[in-house]
Amino acid sequence: MSRLIKPLPQIRHYSAPLDNAIAAAKRKYVPNTGTYPQGFLVSGTHVGVKPSNKHHPDLALLASSTPCSAAAVFTKNKFQAAPVTISREMLHRRNGEGVRAIVVNSGCANAVTGARGLEDATSMAHTVDTCFSPATNDPSSTLVMSTGVIGQHLPIQKILSAIPTAHGALSDTHSSWLRTARAICTTDTFPKLLSRTFTLPSSPKTTYSLAGMAKGAGMIHPNMATLLGILCTDAPIPASTLSPLLTHSITRSFNAISIDGDTSTNDTVALLANGAAGGKPINSLTSPDGAAMQEILTSFTQQLSQLVVRDGEGATKFVRVRVVNSRSFDDAAKIASTIARSPLVKTALYGKDANWGRILCAVGYTSGVEDGTVVPERTSVSFVPVDGSAELNLLVRGEPEAVDEERAGRILQDEDLEIRVDLGGGEGGNGREEASYWFCDFSHEYVTINGDYRT
């Protein structure tokens, strides 16, 4: 009898809609307007890098009307993609000055593709260079990024043929910025785009702008940046200042997020500054302008990187883990990172289970922390609700609390949560440093998405 029963077709429920529509719950993260830096133009063009993509943009181009200072941070994965190698070499040869553009394709990572991959990335940069008058390809003035499936070659002729079209479509409108942000997406469910204005102490009457876009929803765990990110500003910042400015910000933003613990072969975050708004150059981070710019950029990159976590593949939770009263920032960051990538912590959060033992376990096995940083009888763990109500103590100075499971369940019903780990100052009780990480949970859908990624 059972042989006569026809099996039902398997139905997959994906986080990213195949029609590229943005789910209602995610629309609040997509800006309706923006204020973008002077002198920067962008475009998003359809190429069809993946044969299944019939009309969505998958080639992004950002260009400045004048040469820029530039800095970037790259993946530390030993299998570094061709665009990473080419872009790093270009910045080195130019000492971070005279950069004009960034070109990005989605749909193919151009990673682990040998000599041909390097040639393809070089060709993309040089083709963009020839669009400028005069051409700027000795050395190249274009950064290259790619994202998508590893181990496949780019349909390079299709991409090169589309670059002049992309250059011709460059625009400064909000819709162009949004389309460009969409062009770098892969499994993302919404484009990640932010912009803001600011002033500096030395030029209080001058309005500067900062814009950024990022892509990433999976294979996200920092070891430099994570994912792809493009930042640009019209403030006057030379490369000698730009590089440490970006590095400091990345440590506290893109290097402080995790979705699945995997570090990509292609991770790159780049920052361009063209000085188009005028004013006094920021030559030192210790100056009033430098300190203000550091605070502005760090806050901005934190907001942008957190959008990646909110779009984590299959995620239902957005979690901040805050480790306080540590003897050093580095140790606090290591502990926060360990908690953020623990599969047991992430699955407990998905199941709305206040299993604080898993959090404590991750604190205890964190490697690389100095002796005396973690003292069990000084350590406390709590949930901090987003509604402003009192935090729920789970462990206080090494002693377990009688947890109100009903209240814990209500707290875990919310999308947002803060986990607070207080190290009590460590041995001696004098530690006052803290660090935060932002991460999401693991769901059934994460497995579905990544099990079917290449199909």
**DSSP reduced 3-state for 250:** helix
- Give the gyration radius of the chain's Cα atoms: 23
Cα atoms found within 13 Å of the Cα of residue 246, Cβ hemisphere only:
28
**Percent of the chain that is helix, strand, coil (3-state, to 5):** 35, 25, 40
64, 71, 58: which is closest to 146 by C-alpha?
Answer: 58
Backbone angles phi, psi at 211, to 5 degrees: -130, 150
Across the chain, how many H-helices and E-strands are there? 11, 15
Distances (CA, A) of 228 to 128, 144, 221, 239, 247: 19, 11, 12, 20, 15
Q: Report yes or no: 141 and 129 within 8 Å, Cβ to Cβ.
A: yes
Residue 226 a catalytic site member: yes
**Contacts for 187 with CB less than 8 Å, ≥ 6 apart:** 15, 16, 217, 218, 313, 449, 453
Residue that the structure tokens 């100075």 belong to:
397
Three-state DSSP state, 175: helix
Whether 36 contacts 195, CB under 8 Å: yes
Comparing CA positions, the residue from 306, 31, 18, 24 lying closest to residue 177 is 31
- Tokens found for residue 450: 């990544």
The active-site residue out of 226, 233, 298, 373 is 226
Give the DSSP letter of residue 192: E
Beta-bridged to residue 101, according to DSSP, are 63, 142
Q: Which residues of 86-103 are buried (b: 16+ CB within 10 A; e: fewer)?
A: bbbebbeebebebbbbbb
Helix (H) or strand (E) holding 174: helix 174-183
Q: How far is CA 94 from the centre of its chain?
A: 26
CB 255 within 8 A of CB 225: yes
Q: How far apart are CA 259 and CA 346, in angstroms?
A: 9
d(CA 194, CA 341): 26
Q: Which helix (H) or strand (E) holds 326?
A: strand 318-326
Q: What is the torsional sign of CA 258, 260, 261, 264?
A: negative
Q: Is 14 exposed, middle or buried (0-12, 13-18, 19+ CB in 10 A)?
A: middle
* Residues taking part in catalysis: 226
